[in-house]
């Protein structure tokens, strides 16, 4: 969960915390190398409905010191980008058979407050290590962290929910945070559009196993998001621009027991425009193997969940590139091969991931790339099939086709 800022090659980081009534809290993070040439293809998104319309909205300004003066601090939130995030997550769920998400103004407010906390830290200092889910005091930047930060609302995610009096905490709430960093030597950083960045962040979260799990909880029905941008501390505003995405999802008393019949997968039949590669995630799905995802990424993972089962066994896996007529090697990640067994990140026995190993592929397109592996090939169809034995007595076969989008190298 801790992002080590000293690694300058780590250009984008993702984090996820999951709070569930049955098992308490957990956390995860992922990252993916990017440059300022981003995917410009956005999926169409369905319009979401808003709940809790009476929820108190955050003011546009709050009292507090700004640059050493007693001036109000501006609360920032890029609403179009935030709505795009909500829509794309909701659409990814509904395309694969889960219920969609409605915008919850209370979750929006909690996300906005926390996003501005993170923004205040990174516009005022350059942390060496920073956990974006915590609002704790950090020794070397104590003046802008903890209660000294004017946007402070609680050390942990649960504290912030309790302070806000959020009523659905008891039914299960998840938090995903992304903080991509953009740089261009051309001095035209303003050409990077918030909606394009938001789209890229969602696609990356949907390719990071431990984040994907939290975004595909069947019981979730509400969401709230904040997206904000800023020039990092000490950097030139023409060359550098960072973004923060904070997304919350929650179940309600009505949806808390929602289940999915049969076998759920993401991607599923007809999903398009996935990213091609996963470059990093914490907890690392390859922990203990020596594999460095930044140098040897994998393709879009396949998430398998049978909520009604106690345990599953996945076998006979085929991951096939339709255009090139080649099979992609895979690794199965489940409770039997779980590198995080007996930790907060342990996979349940009824979930698994198929991880495509793309080491042998020459999938990069950028001329500057020294390596050939950028995950799966771009704009390509992949057929996935496998058998799943449910509770040792029910064998089912599954097959579907999905399509990647632009290469994310």
Q: How confident is the model at residue 190 (pLDDT cuts 50, 70, 90)?
A: confident
Check residue 23 and give its pLDDT.
Answer: 24
Check residue 58 and give its pLDDT.
Answer: 53
Q: Is pLDDT of 31 > 80?
A: no
Mean pLDDT of 358-373: 79
Q: Is pLDDT of 13 > 90?
A: no
Mean pLDDT of 331-355: 94
Q: 């938001």: which residue's tokens?
A: 198
Lowest-confidence region among 34-38, 133-137, 294-298: 34-38
Lowest-confidence region among 9-23, 152-166, 179-193, 358-372: 9-23
- List pLDDT tens digits, range 300-323: 999 999 999 999 999 999 999 999
Check residue 180 and give its pLDDT.
Answer: 85
Q: How confident is the model at residue 70 (pLDDT cuts 50, 70, 90)?
A: low
Q: What is the pTM of this model?
A: 0.83
Check residue 59 and give its pLDDT.
Answer: 52
3-class DSSP assignment, residue 333 = strand
- List pLDDT tens digits, range 51-68: 443 334 455 555 554 444
Higher-pLDDT residue of 294 and 70 is 294
Q: Is pLDDT of 397 > 90?
A: yes
The Cα 50–Cα 101 span in angstroms is: 9
CB of 17 closer than 8 Å to CB of 24: no
State yes or no: cis peptide before 267, omega within 30 of 0: yes
The Cα 225–Cα 230 span in angstroms is: 17
State yes or no: cis peptide before 409, omega within 30 of 0: no
- Please report, rounded to a whole number, the percentage of residues in the chain having pLDDT higher than 90: 73
Higher-pLDDT residue of 367 and 155 is 155
- Cα four-point dihedral sign 11, 112, 156, 220: negative
Mean pLDDT of 185-199: 92
Higher-pLDDT residue of 106 and 9 is 106
Mean pLDDT of 138-165: 97
The Cα 137–Cα 6 span in angstroms is: 19
Mean pLDDT computed over every residue of the chain? 85
Q: How confident is the model at residue 369 (pLDDT cuts 50, 70, 90)?
A: low
Cα–Cα distances in Å, from 58 out to 66, 82, 113, 152, 247?
18, 15, 8, 14, 16
Question: How many Cα atoms are found within 13 Å in the side-chain-facing hemisphere of 187?
Answer: 0
- List pLDDT tens digits, range 213-242: 999 999 999 999 999 999 999 999 999 999
Lowest-confidence region among 200-204, 341-345, 352-356, 388-392: 341-345
Q: Is pLDDT of 37 > 60?
A: no
């Amino acid at each position: 969960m801790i992002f080590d800022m000293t690694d300058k090659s780590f250009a984008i980081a993702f984090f996820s915390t999951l709070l569930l009534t049955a098992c308490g809290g957990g956390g995860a993070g992922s990252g993916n190398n990017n440059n300022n040439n981003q995917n410009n293809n956005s999926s169409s998104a369905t319009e979401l409905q808003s709940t809790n319309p009476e929820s108190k909205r955050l003011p546009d300004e709050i009292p507090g010191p700004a640059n050493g003066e007693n001036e109000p601090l501006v609360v920032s939130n890029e609403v179009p980008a935030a709505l795009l995030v909500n829509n794309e997550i909701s659409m990814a769920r509904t395309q694969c058979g889960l219920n969609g998400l409605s915008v919850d103004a209370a979750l929006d407010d909690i996300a906005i407050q926390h996003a501005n906390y993170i923004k205040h830290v990174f516009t005022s200092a350059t942390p060496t290590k920073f956990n974006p889910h915590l609002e704790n005091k950090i020794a070397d930047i104590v003046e802008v962290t903890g209660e000294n930060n004017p946007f402070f609302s609680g050390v942990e995610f649960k504290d912030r929910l309790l302070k806000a009096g959020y009523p659905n905490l008891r039914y299960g709430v998840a938090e995903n945070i992304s903080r991509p960093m953009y740089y261009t030597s051309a001095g035209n950083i303003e050409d990077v559009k918030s909606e394009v960045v938001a789209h890229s962040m969602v696609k990356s979260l949907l390719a990071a196993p431990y984040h994907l799990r939290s975004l595909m909880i069947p019981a979730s029905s509400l969401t709230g998001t904040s997206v904000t941008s800023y020039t990092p501390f000490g950097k030139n505003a023409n060359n550098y621009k960072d973004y923060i995405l904070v997304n919350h999802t929650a179940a309600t008393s009505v949806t808390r027991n929602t289940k999915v019949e049969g076998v759920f997968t993401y991607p599923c039949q007809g999903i398009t425009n996935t990213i091609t590669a996963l470059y990093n995630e914490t907890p690392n799905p390859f922990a203990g193997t020596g594999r460095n995802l930044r140098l040897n990424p994998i393709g879009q993972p396949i998430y398998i969940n049978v909520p009604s089962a106690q345990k599953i066994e996945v076998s006979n896996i085929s991951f096939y590139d339709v255009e090139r007529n080649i099979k992609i090697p895979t690794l199965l990640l489940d409770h039997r091969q779980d590198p995080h067994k007996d930790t907060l990140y342990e996979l349940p026995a009824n979930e698994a991931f198929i991880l495509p190993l793309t080491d042998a592929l020459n999938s990069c397109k950028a001329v500057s790339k020294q390596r050939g592996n950028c995950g799966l090939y771009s704009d390509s169809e992949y057929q996935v099939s496998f058998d799943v034995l449910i509770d040792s007595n029910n064998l089912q076969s599954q097959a579907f086709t999905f399509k990647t989008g632009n290469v994310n190298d």
